[in-house]
Amino acid sequence: MTCIVGLIDSNKVYIGGDSAAAANWDMLKTAQPKVFRLGELLIGYTSSFRMGQLLQYELGIPPQAEDQDDYAYLVTALVEQARALFAEKGYLFTENGREKGGEFLVGYRGKLYVVQGDFSVMAYQDTFAAVGCGAAYAMGALQVTGELPPKKRLKLALKVAAHFSNGVSGPFHILKV
């Protein structure tokens, strides 16, 4: 239960996240932000704190080949590295014969990507994205606040998500790369 939001503005990627640690009707506020830098990457995660910890502290960033575009790199190298790490550390789930991880946003070289639970990497035509239980509320807020500065847009989107979703709560953390 969370809300992670991201947007692109002037070739910079901003990602923000809430602090909810919710289970059923119970919620605490985590002291660890769900948004972090990892080399050239900016990552914001939902789904599991364990998944986020593995990404932040154990994911080895594979090198990108000089002739490889950024999207291909994320699909073939970075996500495969994450999938292998999840399997090694006991986080990878199998459901109906398909591997599952969790969702997270990635900011890389001025672009925003969504890594879905099945390890697909999505780049959307919109300049913003959101994941987690508050995503729909945040997406609506991002759609109608295009005239505001990026950090204000993300903070407002997170506030709207927290207002309507009992799985989203401040304080909010926003980073840019």
CATH number of the domain residue 108 falls in: 3.60.20.10
Residue 84 has pLDDT above 90, yes or no: yes
For 103-130, write each residue's pLDDT tens digit. 999 999 999 999 999 999 999 999 999 9
Question: What is the pTM for the complete model shown?
Answer: 0.94
Residue 47 has pLDDT above 90, yes or no: no
Domain count, the chain: 1
For 92-110, write each residue's pLDDT tens digit. 988 888 989 999 999 999 9
- Angle among Cα 19, 14, 109 to the nearest 5 degrees reads 130
Determine which of 35-44, 47-56, 88-97, 152-161 has the lowest per-residue pLDDT on average: 88-97
Q: Which of 39, 110, 46, 49 is CA-nearest to residue 81? A: 39
Residue 62 has pLDDT above 90, yes or no: no
Distance between first and last Cα of the chain: 25
Range of the domain at 20: 3-61+68-176
